[in-house]
Structure formats: structure tokens, C-alpha cells
Amino acid sequence: MSLKTTRLLSCVCLASWLSGCHQVTTTGKNGYNGNWAPLFDGTSLDGWKQSDFLNPGITYARDRKLIIPAGEVLSGITWARDFPKMDYEIRLEAMRADGSDFFCGLTFPVNDSFASLILGGWGGTVCGISCLDGEDAANNETTTSILFKNRAWYTVRLRVTKDKLEAWLDNEKIVNADTKDRRIDVRIEVEESRPLGLATFQTTAALRNVRWRKLVE
């Protein structure tokens, strides 16, 4: 075999490897195998769409962060791809960059229903799940009050399993709700965030390292 032929075969093999074994995975897909997978690629809104709120701020990516500017009322984005309904976790870091209300309204599926984890609502301090048996995050057993600082990063983790919703803020559990035989739904204002969405209320937020994973046995 000539040197020219050997080099040609090497190039063909390399091209085949690059196109086959070294493919880039779609944002969010790898989470189904139980590993943490990105829901935000750090550079674009790939997989997301602007939520259809009234006069929202337009969300954009910058410096590996999602920026959700304050809108007239609500601003945010909605996931536009498949996502599990049960047995999963979501993890992210969130900052209230400006404003005084909720900077992380994470709406998520719970079987065939949906709920929202609210951080910093009702004037800036209220956290909890909306809604359980018709009661929102300010009026059910998940309600807690936390004094948030603007321009500080907070690590958030949500776990959705059969009959239970759990959430942590900077590794401290703030939600531990039994959902068996409970009526679960979102407030009408954030229905546009379903099935999975991130929203703010008259507040500018930054989010980064948005990830998820399927809980596997």
C-alpha cells in the first residue's frame, strides 16, 4: 500500500469517527440515563421559547447565564422539548439581579399536573409550592420566608417523585410536601410556563448551570 493511499484511508477513518462517534448531544437529552444533563447550553436558548406573557422582558443568553429581564408583570421562558412527568431532579443557580419579587418561578410537571416552586415572591421573601389543594406558595404548608440578597447566587434543587415534592436552597431543605391524593396545579398567571418553565415577577434574574436528571433505580 502506498503512502498516499495510507494517508487517504487515515483521513476517511478520521472523518467517519468525527461524524459518527463524536456527535454533539441535543441539550437536555442525556438526563434520561440518570446523569446530570444541561437544560441550558450556556450560549443560546436552544430548546426554549419565550413564554407568552403580557409585555414581558425578552430572555437572552450572555456570559453563560440566562438573563430574564423584568417585564410589565411576568417574564420567562418555556421548555419546548420532551420532559419526564415524574421521578426527576432539576438543579440551577439563580440570582435576583434587580427588583424585589420572585426571581425564580420554576414551573414543572407532576404526573399529569403541574406546580411551581416560587423563590422570593409576595414582596421578596416568600418561598414555597404553588398550588396544593388550591392554596398557593403563600398559603400552604410549604410556605417559608427567606431574606434574599440582590446580586447573590443561590443554588436550587427540586426533586419530583411519587407522592412527594422536595426542594433545597443552598443545601437546606425548604420543601418536603406529601402529594398523595392532593390536588396539584399552578396559578393561572403562570400557565404559559407549562410544562416546564422559568419565570420572574417584575424582577430581573440571572440563572446558570440549569440541569436535570432522571431518577433511576
- Sort residue 47 into left (φ over 0), alpha (ψ -120 to 50) or beta: left
pLDDT greater than 50 at residue 22: no
pLDDT greater than 70 at residue 24: no
Asked if residue 6 belongs to a domain, the reply is: no
Lowest mean pLDDT among 11-20, 48-57, 60-69, 174-183: 11-20
Strands 153-161 and 88-98: antiparallel
pLDDT at 11: 38
CATH assignment at residue 157? 2.60.120.560
Sign of the CA dihedral 79, 85, 88, 93?
Answer: positive
Asked if residue 5 belongs to a domain, the reply is: no
pLDDT at 28: 63
Asked if residue 120 belongs to a domain, the reply is: yes
Strands 153-161 and 204-214: unpaired
Segment 43-96, tens digit of pLDDT: 999 999 999 999 999 999 999 999 999 999 999 999 999 999 999 999 999 999
Asked if residue 22 belongs to a domain, the reply is: no
Segment 50-61, tens digit of pLDDT: 999 999 999 999
Instruction: Count the domains in the chain.
Output: 1
Asked if residue 90 belongs to a domain, the reply is: yes
Q: What kind and span of H or E run contains 19?
A: helix 3-20
CA atoms within 13 A on the CB side of 18: 6
- Burial bucket for residue 125 (CB in 10 Å: 0-12, 13-18, 19+): middle
Q: How large is the average pLDDT for residues 19-29? A: 43
Asked if residue 42 belongs to a domain, the reply is: yes
Asked if residue 134 belongs to a domain, the reply is: yes
Average pLDDT, the chain: 89
pLDDT at 33: 81
Structural domain boundaries enclosing 67:
27-214
Asked if residue 128 belongs to a domain, the reply is: yes
Are the C-beta atoms of residues 110 and 87 closer than 8 Å to each other? no
| 139 backbone dihedrals φ, ψ, rounded to 5° | -140, 25
Strands 197-201 and 104-110: antiparallel
